[in-house]
Chain A
């Protein structure tokens, strides 16, 4: 592993302890949710929620991130199919 990789691996385990007890503060807030807080569930957030609940979204994201692999696989499968078709036709002709 490179020197940077080693440090980032360690840095991922970093936890910053806040000055105040953030956990208690959050839990207390959950008992006092205001209308203003509910407004934060805006269109952007709803969109975020929808995307993270969509298998199609995850699949299309994977496709975009690995388009090269997908194109190569599609080409390979097509070439294999053509090859098998030609072999089958030859087989039938020779029969």
Chain B
């Protein structure tokens, strides 16, 4: 069901992308409506800041809007916007002061009024509740991770980037990336297993 919906969405995106490339602003606005929360969510977990995530989301779509005519469609629009979001977040992280010493909690991030939702609602309520709470625990652990672990983990396990791509984006050796991801996963696993006890 999810794959059918994804395929349908990709086909529909193509239609809007083609119109946007011809200068149809309302078509691009539809693409914004479809993907803005996804972009915001990605930026939210990479930057750990509501306001910066909003700024980045805006910047990503402005860049996409100004360059949509140059988009050849070798990947889906969603993939393209995802890569653009990641690149913009990485640039932001390079510019801003190192926050590795700054403790940020997921609870403080959602206190500003943001809300974490699980999009897939087809599971039974009980299973959904259990999984939602445990997933939130995992996300809390991810948010608390040092940047050197958090960013590669998000790119690998939540954004499906390859090790090679992550190494290229972060300008680090593939071996370092693999080690950091392995350590991050170990921390998360310990958190989950600790909760289950």
Contact = CB atoms under 8 A, between A and B. Distances in A.
Contacts, number: 144
A37 B112 contact: no
A60 B122 CA distance: 40
A16 to B, nearest CB: 4
Given A14-B139, A22-B57, A30-B29, A4 B192 contact: yes
Given A19-B113, A65-B164, A49 B157 contact: no
A30 B63 CA distance: 10
A53 B54 contact: no
Interface residues of B, number: 59
A46 to B, nearest CB: 9
Contact of A14 (B41, B50, B72, B91): B41
A20 interface: yes
Given A40-B63, A48-B83, A7 B138 contact: yes
B176 interface: no
Contacts of A33: 62, 65-66
Question: Which label, helix, strand, loop or mixed, suits the secondary structure of the B interface?
Answer: helix
B62 A8 contact: no
Contact of A15 (B32, B37, B158): B37
Given A16-B116, A30-B28, A58-B74, A40 B164 contact: no
Nearest to B73: A53
Nearest to A50: B70
A5 B165 CA distance: 20
B41 A15 contact: yes
Interface string A20-51: 10110111011001000110110011001100
A20 B53 CA distance: 12
13 contacts: A4-B189, A4-B192, A10-B118, A14-B116, A16-B37, A17-B114, A17-B116, A18-B44, A22-B57, A27-B29, A27-B32, A41-B66, A53-B71
